[in-house]
Amino acid sequence: MARIGFIIGSGFSGEGALEGAEQRIIKTQYGNVFLYQKGKVVFLPRHGKGKNIPPHRVNHRANICALNLHGVEKIVGINSVGSLKESIKPGTIVAPSDYVHFSPPTFFDFELRFIIPQLDQALIGEIAAASKKTKIAVKKSGIYVQTRGPRLETKAEIKIISKWGDIVGMTMASEATLAQELGIKYAAICSVDNYANGIREIKTQEFSKMRERNQPRLEKIMKEMARRNSA
């Protein structure tokens, strides 16, 4: 059984973190899920083993169900995001404090149940402790706004949602809601890899370079959290 699960993005290299990890296929009622297990730590590739599932087709229910079946008590999502604020520059790492998502998935299709959604403050505290240990700065507040993808947002859309939040992405809020429905603690570490469309011009080459620069920093924080949860 695992203690903590990391849902990793397509930019995750896995260097060091996955060394010695076992590869597993978890069967769920929503589909099969591929993941890596290393002791009490699980790494689940959000976009599949081949990193080729687009964001709007990620099977979030299968992913969260698989982690639940595996005994995971808390989940940390690793995400690439765009900045909705000039003051939050590319290269910043954010642990969001809340999120906006108007069409979340649910496990409660045939039950009259609801949750009061919130990101887990104790788990955000663990992220903060790991960032301090690794000497990698993390902004411990900010509102994440989720859009559907796979396209980026229009300038008009960004003008609206920039009034609601600080960063924008396509997956985190879905994971957070589903995890909470199953009683699993959830928090996220978000890498700001670009300004959102309309805040500044998006240049694909610069986005790719920033993502490559940020990824090792995310992995250091994640490895420190994994170490603390392996005892």
| Residues 73 and 3 sit within 8 Å (Cβ to Cβ) | yes
Over residues 132-146, the pLDDT tens digits come to 999 999 999 999 999
Q: What is the reported pLDDT for 10?
A: 76
Lowest-confidence pick of 9-13, 107-111, 113-117, 155-159: 9-13
**Statement: residue 125 has pLDDT above 80:** yes
Question: Where does the pLDDT of residue 194 fall: very low under 50, low under 70, confident under 90, or very high at 90 and above?
Answer: very high
Average pLDDT, the chain: 93
3-state DSSP: the chain helix, strand, coil percent, rounded to 5? 30, 25, 45
Instruction: Please tell me the pTM assigned to this model.
Output: 0.94
Q: What is the reported pLDDT for 224?
A: 94
Range of the domain at 19: 4-228
Q: What is the reported pLDDT for 15?
A: 60
Which token pair is 135? 């000497």
Q: What is the reported pLDDT for 1?
A: 63
**Statement: residue 86 has pLDDT above 90:** yes
**Statement: residue 67 has pLDDT above 90:** yes
Q: Which residues pair with 83 in a beta bridge?
A: 167, 195
**Statement: residue 157 has pLDDT above 90:** yes
**Statement: residue 204 has pLDDT above 90:** no
**Statement: residue 2 has pLDDT above 80:** no
Q: What is the reported pLDDT for 14?
A: 61
**pLDDT higher at 44 or 212:** 44
> Which among 134, 9, 12, 145 has a CA at the least distance from the CA of 77?
9
Q: Measured between alpha carbons, how far is 27 from 135 in angstroms, rounded to an integer?
A: 39
How many structural domains are present in the chain?
1
Q: Measured between alpha carbons, how far is 181 from 8 in angstroms, rounded to an integer?
A: 20
Q: Measured between alpha carbons, how far is 24 from 15 in angstroms, rounded to an integer?
A: 18
Q: Kindly report the CATH number assigned to the domain that includes residue 208.
A: 3.40.50.1580
Residue 166, amino acid: D
